[in-house]
Amino acid sequence: MDYNTFIDTIHRRAPVPPEKAESLTRATLETLAERLTRGEAEDLASELPKPLQEPLVSPTPQAEPFGLEEFINRVSSRADVSPHVAREGVRAELNTLRDAVSDGEFRQVMSQLPQDFEALVGSPG
């Protein structure tokens, strides 16, 4: 999936204006980089278009242990959107990541996140 298709998919799934889709995407990836181990963030980045790789540079080798609500609050703050819009953005982002990367990579990402992320994403399809 190329960058424009990725952003357009976020725009349609969230639904948010295109400019918010970009800021939500960046905010979600930056927050994901904090929540994943550096190695996993790098693995995920390797399967994404170049403009989506830079936000996944992990600030530390270890994952920060925070849950879904803190994740959404960080995305909300970074993207300058309400927590409700951030939640929809995170949902759209994770579903789009599931479509954009290999099944194995998506499972690895999800294995590092608390179980409430699974409920947010829902089942494929």
> Per-residue pLDDT for the chain (125 aa), expressed as one digit of tens each?
999 999 999 999 998 888 899 999 999 999 999 999 999 999 999 999 999 999 999 878 899 999 999 999 999 999 999 999 999 999 999 999 999 999 999 999 999 999 999 998 875 54
Radius of gyration of the chain measured on its C-alpha atoms = 13
Checking phi first, is residue 87 left (phi over 0); if not, alpha (psi -120 to 50) or beta?
alpha
Query: Which domains are seen in the chain, by residue range?
Result: 3-121 (1.10.490.110)
CB atoms within 10 A of CB 55: 19
Q: What's the pTM value of the predicted model, to 2 decimals? A: 0.93
